[in-house]
Chains A and B, each alone.
Chain A
């Protein structure tokens, strides 16, 4: 007998006379506590409370301009596959930022699939490259305001139903999803809070308010 069948057999024997408990249905517990109805405000509040930073711009052009200025302070950068078009929005090719391997750079730029208001989370997908999301000490993330979901459940379902670049199937989640809800932190040394252990110690969410079509360069 295989391990599989003997484990399943033992489970079935254990459950033979056990009353089946019904599923309680959808998780509605959050509803009384949700913010005044503005997901962007709630996302911002939650994300900042967890130690993240949030900036917001009317258009992608403004957002890109700000991020390129912000990044000028860093000596080396890496840019996620999906974020590249956003970062270079409206920029001339000679202004494009020089990219390096995420393991050696000071800052990384990504594009989030979306964000979640109730938990203050950015939803990161592997199409952008996980290394760029995790290795640099500073992480700058574009997110469209239209894709800030009220609840985690709504955000994950939307992600599941989306056809992502390079993945030709909708109805399934990407190979790996990371929710980033603030900087990397730990209190394992003498119970004192330290930021930037392993993952980025500084994370900046750049909200793009306008959903108008982008004039992006390739």
Chain B
């Protein structure tokens, strides 16, 4: 099942809060765990140093993107992989279709890929008559239920153990009180058959190394390694912003991304894929296709401020810490990428009008910017899009007044906190214009601690 677009955000988030209280409970508990693990993992390293480094590697890659894309292509071709370019989702689906036809593909196993969600790969494969199976356990659960992922790292975190017990009972006939181990064993058995039989494996790519032509993939279950090792054809869908220059860069980025995402020093499986099986190899795919996808990324790159959002490594930290996301989970955002990162890339990738009101789906508390491993200035970019929305007449004028006061106050640390609070409350007091999601939770509970102090902390760091 796919998304219906961000425009229903208000209604959908209100509905989620009212009708499905279990979502809030599950998301809160999952994000609390993510947050605790990330804090611990950051505390073990000099996280400021690491994040400055990562920010610069990604910015360097993005500001030289054309050269590195060409280099990656040359290397991949030398490795024996096939390289395709897709400007739009439509183009990517067309390329997929060609490969499916050329190879007589009947079944596909998929490793978790947000890009494949963005492109609508599953629907298209089914339309082509290909049986497609998600193999990440979380993705598998939501595929069985028929809903899209609600979080970029944990796609099914909005689902409780009871939900899974019911689902597996209906699907496999497992007893309703089976624990997670038994349920996972049932899934493993069912999916193992599909792995062994599949003609095609589809993955995304966390990084694409220009120097070596390497598609790098982080995971914990082993399903990505299986999806990219067993079927005779492997297709990797890679956003053009995933480029990093050198093998050495990926060594640092995989560690920082893993720490930011799940608090691990590294995901338990890390794949570095250069191309198809070679003569001395025992097994592996006969063909590896890398599809380089634009689909709105060059449009975002062209924005003088928001291009920095392309540094994102999709760790989910900004979702986990976001007091707004934590209330509803990802579905109300109405497209593939939810939470703070979703709100700042949507206007660039989809167009501002299409992305409304996502730049407003935030209390501007600034908690996210403290956590982001590549230091994307998320609150600044939210404000950037809000300014643009005002310019383009897409928003009520009361918001515009608040925005000006906020920007002005931002130049003077003393009243900054007050201004932040003011802007936070303007939407609440603006009657019908308010985002119900914000008023709903701000009134009844306070934001997580780190969010309350983050802007002030930043200011202190800046002036001391």
Are A and B genuine complex partners? Answer: yes
Please list the residues of chain A having a beta carbon within 8 angstroms of any beta carbon in chain B: 2-4, 6-8, 10-15, 18-24, 26-27, 29-30, 32-33, 46, 50-51, 80-81, 103, 118-121, 126-135, 151-153, 156-157, 160, 164-167, 172-192, 194, 196-200
- Find chain A residues with CB under 8 A from B183 CB: 189
| A30 lies within 8 A of B45 (CB) | yes
- Find chain A residues with CB under 8 A from B240 CB: 7, 11
A152 to B250, CA, bound (A): 9
Once A10-B294, A14-B307, A126-B282 are accepted as A-B contacts, the answer to whether A3 and B247 lie under 8 Å apart by CB is no
**18 extra interchain contacts, Cβ-Cβ under 8 A, other than A166-B278, A192-B180?**
A3-B86, A7-B294, A8-B69, A11-B240, A23-B60, A24-B60, A27-B249, A51-B268, A121-B270, A166-B279, A173-B247, A175-B273, A178-B271, A179-B266, A181-B269, A185-B220, A188-B141, A191-B33
| B277 lies within 8 A of A175 (CB) | yes
Please list 10 pairs of residues, one from A and one from B, whose beta carbons are closer than 8 Å in the complex, sorted by A's number: A7-B294, A8-B70, A22-B60, A24-B57, A127-B281, A173-B247, A184-B220, A184-B222, A189-B180, A194-B184
Once A184-B222, A189-B141 are accepted as A-B contacts, the answer to whether A50 and B188 lie under 8 Å apart by CB is no
B257 to chain A, nearest CB (A): 12
Once A189-B183, A190-B164, A198-B135 are accepted as A-B contacts, the answer to whether A29 and B53 lie under 8 Å apart by CB is yes
How many residues of B are in contact with the other chain, CB < 8 A? 104
Once A127-B282, A188-B138 are accepted as A-B contacts, the answer to whether A134 and B225 lie under 8 Å apart by CB is yes
Complex interface residues of chain B between 129 and 167 (CB less than 8 A to chain A): 135-138, 141, 154-157, 159-162, 164
Contact partner of B275 (CB less than 8 A), chosen from A175, A184, A194, is A175
Contact partner of B214 (CB less than 8 A), chosen from A120, A157, A173, is A173
| A176 lies within 8 A of B188 (CB) | no
Interface of A is mostly: loop
- Find chain A residues with CB under 8 A from B187 CB: 197
B39 to chain A, nearest CB (A): 16
Query: CB-CB contacts of B178-204 with A at 8 A, as 1s and 0s?
Result: 011101110110011001100000000
- Find chain A residues with CB under 8 A from B65 CB: 11, 15
Contact partner of B222 (CB less than 8 A), chosen from A3, A12, A198, is A198
Contact partner of A186 (CB less than 8 A), chosen from B53, B161, B221, B230, is B221
Once A33-B45, A130-B225, A152-B251 are accepted as A-B contacts, the answer to whether A24 and B53 lie under 8 Å apart by CB is yes
- Find chain B residues with CB under 8 A from A23 CB: 56-57, 60, 245
| A153 lies within 8 A of B248 (CB) | yes
A182 to B258, CA, bound (A): 14
> For the complex, is B16 an interface residue (Cβ under 8 Å from A)?
no
B260 to chain A, nearest CB (A): 13
> For the complex, is B265 an interface residue (Cβ under 8 Å from A)?
yes
| A160 lies within 8 A of B212 (CB) | yes
- Find chain B residues with CB under 8 A from A131 CB: 229-230, 282-283
- Find chain A residues with CB under 8 A from B265 CB: 46, 50, 118-120, 181
Residue of B nearest to A25 (CB): B53
Once A27-B248, A192-B180, A199-B269 are accepted as A-B contacts, the answer to whether A3 and B53 lie under 8 Å apart by CB is no
| A153 lies within 8 A of B251 (CB) | yes
- Find chain A residues with CB under 8 A from B299 CB: 10
- Find chain B residues with CB under 8 A from A180 CB: 268-269
| A156 lies within 8 A of B251 (CB) | yes
- Find chain A residues with CB under 8 A from B69 CB: 7-8, 11
A183 to B192, CA, bound (A): 17
| A199 lies within 8 A of B225 (CB) | yes
Once A127-B280, A134-B229, A188-B136 are accepted as A-B contacts, the answer to whether A175 and B302 lie under 8 Å apart by CB is no
| A173 lies within 8 A of B269 (CB) | no
Once A24-B52, A184-B222 are accepted as A-B contacts, the answer to whether A176 and B273 lie under 8 Å apart by CB is yes
Residue of B nearest to A128 (CB): B282
Residue of B85, B161, B222, B282 contacting most chain A CB atoms (<10 Å)? B222
Contact partner of B274 (CB less than 8 A), chosen from A132, A176, A184, A188, is A176
> For the complex, is B228 an interface residue (Cβ under 8 Å from A)?
yes
| B226 lies within 8 A of A50 (CB) | no
> For the complex, is B50 an interface residue (Cβ under 8 Å from A)?
yes
| B282 lies within 8 A of A152 (CB) | no
| B221 lies within 8 A of A184 (CB) | yes
| A179 lies within 8 A of B270 (CB) | yes
Query: CB-CB contacts of B39-68 with A at 8 A, as 1s and 0s?
Result: 000001110011011001101101111100
- Find chain A residues with CB under 8 A from B276 CB: 175
- Find chain B residues with CB under 8 A from A12 CB: 66
Residue of A nearest to B292 (CB): A7
| A175 lies within 8 A of B180 (CB) | no
| B154 lies within 8 A of A188 (CB) | yes
| A186 lies within 8 A of B220 (CB) | yes
| B66 lies within 8 A of A11 (CB) | yes
- Find chain B residues with CB under 8 A from A134 CB: 222, 225-226, 229
- Find chain B residues with CB under 8 A from A21 CB: 56, 59-60, 62-63
| A119 lies within 8 A of B255 (CB) | yes
Contact partner of A181 (CB less than 8 A), chosen from B135, B138, B268, is B268
| B180 lies within 8 A of A15 (CB) | no
| A32 lies within 8 A of B221 (CB) | no
The 10 A-B pairs at the shortest CB distance, nearest first, are namely A166-B280, A199-B222, A190-B161, A27-B252, A129-B282, A188-B138, A10-B298, A14-B302, A24-B56, A21-B59
| B229 lies within 8 A of A189 (CB) | no
A21 to B128, CA, bound (A): 44
A48 to chain B, nearest CB (A): 12
| A189 lies within 8 A of B137 (CB) | yes
Once A11-B301, A166-B280 are accepted as A-B contacts, the answer to whether A197 and B248 lie under 8 Å apart by CB is no
